[in-house]
Every structure is written in C-alpha cells, then in structure tokens.
Structure 1
Amino acid sequence: MARSLDGLVLAPVADQAPGQVGTRTRFTYHERDGEVWAEYAGGDVVRGYLVGTRAGDRLDFRYVQLKRDGTTSSGHCASAVVDLPDGRVRLEETWRWESQRGGGTSVVEQVAEHGG
C-alpha cells in the first residue's frame, strides 16, 4: 500500500474547465484509520473540503467547494493512490458533479518540498 497521505500537499497537473480546480489549487490531505479529508483552495476556488475513506490504494470521497463568483458545487470522486518513482504520491481521479451536470478524470501530484 502507498504511504499515508497525512500532511501531504497535492496539486493538479493540469487545469480543468474554466472556473474549476486548476494548477493553482492546493489540497492539504489528512488521513487516519481509513478516513481521509482535505482542505483546498486556489485559483477559482475560495474554499473547498473533501471527506471520505481509504481502502488500500483506493480513495472514495465527496467534495464541496465555494468559488470566487459565490457559487457552490459538490460531487463524488474515486481515486487510485500511486507511488511515483521519485517518492512523491499521485492520485488518479475519476469524478462526477452531483450539484450540476458533468464529470471527468484528473491527476493530482504531491508538491515537491522545494517549489513544485
């Protein structure tokens, strides 16, 4: 199993659709006893939270966020936790909005200690 996500900061490797999570968004993860949660912000997202579970290398969580334009949105995501050769962690995500139409895939990776 990949190492714990607790205390890790991750960022998307590519921008999503306009007004969504993007490369300037930072996710701070926490993990304890099969529970995972994170706070995130940056880019068009003023504040976001996710909460869910981890079983092995699979995450299953729901997310809610507040955007700069004052709108809120929520959805569901399933992620695979992957250890990268350089020791960082990657999450390969499949997500779907629940508060609006649409979904897709994305990749977030641990931000390197020096920059990233």
Structure 2
Amino acid sequence: MLPSLDGLVFAPVARADDGEVDPDTRFHYRELDGRVWAAYTGGEVVHGHLVGTRLGDTVAFRYVQLNRAGETSGGRCVSTLTRLPDGRLRLDETWAWESREGRGTSAVEELLPAAD
C-alpha cells in the first residue's frame, strides 16, 4: 500500500469536459484510519469538500462544491492511487455528478512543497 494522503496537496492535471476543477484547484487531503477527507478551492470552485474511505490504494468518496456562479453540486468518485516515476503520488479518478448530468475521468497529482 502506498503512503498516507494526510497533509498532502494535489492539483488536477487538466479540466474534464463535465467537470469544474482545473489545474488552479488545490485539494488539501487528510487521512486517518481509513477515513479520507479534503477541502478544495481554486479555478471555478469557490469552496469544496470531499469525504470518504480508503481501502488499500483505492479511495471512494462523495464531494460537494460551490462554484463561482453560486451553484452547489455534488457527486461521487472512486480513485486509484499510484506513484509517479518522480516519486509523487497520483489519483486516477472516475466520477459522476449526483446533482446534475455529467460524468468523467480525471487525475490529480501531488504538489511538492516549495523550496525555501
């Protein structure tokens, strides 16, 4: 099993056709005893939260967010955690809105802390 997501920051690789998160969105992950949650913001997303569980290298969660137009939406996602050649972590995601039409796949990759 790959390391904990706790304290890591991720950013999307690209914007999915039916999605609202984009490379300017930042996900701040926490993990404890198989529970996973994150707050996220940036790009079209003013405020977002996700909460779910991790079993091995699979993370399943629900998400809810507020966009710049003042609309709220939510959905579900299952992600597979892998390690990139440079050592960072990546989540390959399969998601679907539950509050509106749309589904897709996307990926977020770990951002390394800035060097001082």
Q: TM-score, normalised by structure 2?
A: 0.95
Within a 5 Å distance, the mapping from 1:22-101 to structure 2 comes to 22-101=22-101
RMSD in angstroms over aligned alpha carbons?
1.4
| Superposed displacement of residue 84, structure 1 | 1.4
Total equivalences in the alignment? 115
How far does the alpha carbon of each residue in 1:23-49 deviate from its partner, in whole angstroms, 9 at most, with x for none? 100000000000000000000100000
In structure 1, distance between residues paired with 2:41 and 2:18: 15
In structure 2, distance between residues paired with 1:46 and 1:4: 26
Identity %: 59
* 1:34 counterpart letter in structure 2: G
Runs of 4 or more off by more than 6 Å in structure 1? none
| Superposed displacement of residue 19, structure 1 | 6.8
* Consecutive unaligned residues in structure 1, runs of 5 or more: none
How far does the alpha carbon of each residue in 1:46-93 deviate from its partner, in whole angstroms, 9 at most, with x for none? 000000000000000000000011000000000000011211100000
Q: TM-score, normalised by structure 1?
A: 0.95
* Pair 1:9 & 2:9 matched: yes
* 1:9 counterpart letter in structure 2: V
Please name the residue that 1:21 is paired with. 21
What SS is found at the alignment partner of 1:3?
Answer: coil
* 2:92 counterpart letter in structure 1: E
In terms of mean alpha carbon deviation, does 17-26 or 80-89 score higher?
A: 17-26
